[in-house]
Amino acid sequence: MKTHLSYPEILTELEHRQVRQLRHYLKSRVIPFSAHYRKMFAEAGLTPDDLRTPSDMGKIPFTSKLDLISNPREFVLIPDETVLRHQPATIWHAVRHGKAATKAAFEHEFRPLLMTSTTGRSSQPVPFLYTAHDLEILTIAGRRVMENGGTQIDWRHANLFPFAPHLAFWQAHYCSVGFGAFMVGTGGGKSMGTEGNIALIDKVKPEVLIGMPTFLYHILTLAVAGDHHWPQLRILVLGGEKVPPGMRRKLRALCAELGAGKVSVVATYAFTEAKMAWIECPTPDGAEPSGYHLSPDLGIMEIIDPVTGEIMGPNQPGEIVYTPLDARGTVVLRYRTGDRTDGGLVYGVCPHCGREGLRLTGNISRVSEIRQMRFDKLKGTLVDFNSLEHVLDDIDGIGSWQIELRKANDDPFEQDQLIVHASSGNDSKRAELEHAILTRFITTAELRPNRIEWHDNETMSQLQGVGRVLKEEKLVDHRPSNPPQSNPDRGTAALTK
């Protein structure tokens, strides 16, 4: 008699449970109360009962950011009292607790209390509403982030994300609420300024710093220059940007200069539409991260072929698609993130923390960071700037940096130019660093920067918008957004959406 299930069998059972949960969620909440999905399911001739197996997920049409932009209100669950009144669960709740308590329960479940928003870098911002029910889920997700991230309840935490209607700040806030640990929010550079953040860290002495990689790098660099001493640091939690291995290495080195011992640098993955974040567990020096620990009871993560939409199997690369299983407020189903992973989903025991579960593995890159450019005689060359980020962060000796795209002579008909702005702690090695940058650009992307401009740390901070913008600008496109089309033979540059 078989008594132990294999990992493939456990994953299959997990997926079937998710589909059952999704079917109930669609029947009781999404289809009755979401204008967009009620219409979409009707037009597709689809009902929740048509979803019986994991492969049936493919029957649900994808949702994209373009759908959200057109009418965000249609994605909000707005309850119909007539429908609610006749649901068996409502009737039973009223019998047990009375009408007043039942009404209060539905207020808790459906009334919006909080709004976050997409950042609007490549399109207009889209609001996402949270109810008290959603905040409870955000708190659960936050507790798991703290547990998986390796922190301790008696440690102090500093949230350096900007005060903003942005998921990163609010997830960090609800991490402390769910875990029960002390956390102070500084508001990032906009609220207290760089010196204010450093002064607060000097006074509070947090073991854990949470923020965007570029801003934390800026803070640590200035702290080292100012001869500060932070031996209590234990963990840096990064969010809002990709975190190449080179950036992790540089952050650890800065912590060492501040007197800290072994410091874990862990990344989170999140997007506004999921309304929660996931985290890596601490990784031993020299080891590859084991992936982001997911919460399959709260949502379904899929990896699809970005061209065909086909659902990929375990450990296969593709685009990340997400469906919540218990959200209220703004709800999206099978949301195409535009993020691609070269790893995929894996179920099993984590080699670092020993937890058994589902993880999202691999390097994650954004399709929006693939730009079409025109160099020399080539009228259209796709350049993946995700890979170039790794190039610059992996070169020791380079501090902060920025890639700028512009037209030669600011003429919209001219060729595209790529300019690297960078800082270095050692001016005497700039020639050596320039050689390394040029060599790696040619090897990685088969292109050569038009020039490299060196700046001090203060100027680089200004170029990146540290303390001024929500996300520091590491790639800026100063080419005309709508170049004239009267001379098509000369070619134009366009952003690949």
Segment 345-360 shows an average pLDDT of: 96
Write down the pLDDT at residue 492: 27
Distance CA(125)–CA(135), nearest Å, equals: 21
**How many Å apart are CA 338 and CA 227, to the nearest integer?**
42
pLDDT: is 235 or 391 the higher one? 235
Confidence of residue 412 (pLDDT cuts 50, 70, 90): confident
Residue 484 pLDDT > 50, yes or no? no
Query: Helices in 260-337 by DSSP H: which ranges?
Result: none
CA-closest candidate to residue 423, choices 384, 395, 383: 395
Confidence of residue 358 (pLDDT cuts 50, 70, 90): very high
- pLDDT at position 464: 87
Q: Is residue 125 over pLDDT 60?
A: yes
**CA angle at residue 317 from 315 to 323, to 5 degrees?**
90
What is the per-residue pLDDT for 409?
Answer: 81
- The pLDDT confidence band at residue 485, using thresholds 50, 70 and 90, is very low
pLDDT reported for residue 34:
97
Using 50, 70 and 90 to split pLDDT, how confident is the model at 382?
A: low
- How far is Cα 347 from Cα 120, in angstroms, rounded to an integer? 34
**What pTM was estimated for this model as a whole?**
0.85
Instruction: To the nearest 10°, report the CA torsion of 259, 262, 263, 267.
Output: 160
Average pLDDT in the chain: 87
Higher pLDDT: 2 or 449? It is 449
Structure-model confidence comparison of residues 458 and 327, the more confident one? 327
More confident residue, 10 or 131: 131
Domains in the chain with CATH codes:
368-495 (3.30.300.30)
Nearest to 423 by CA among 385, 463, 470: 463
- Tell me the CA distances in angstroms from 262 to 202, 207, 249, one per residue in order: 19, 12, 12
Amino acid at 461: S
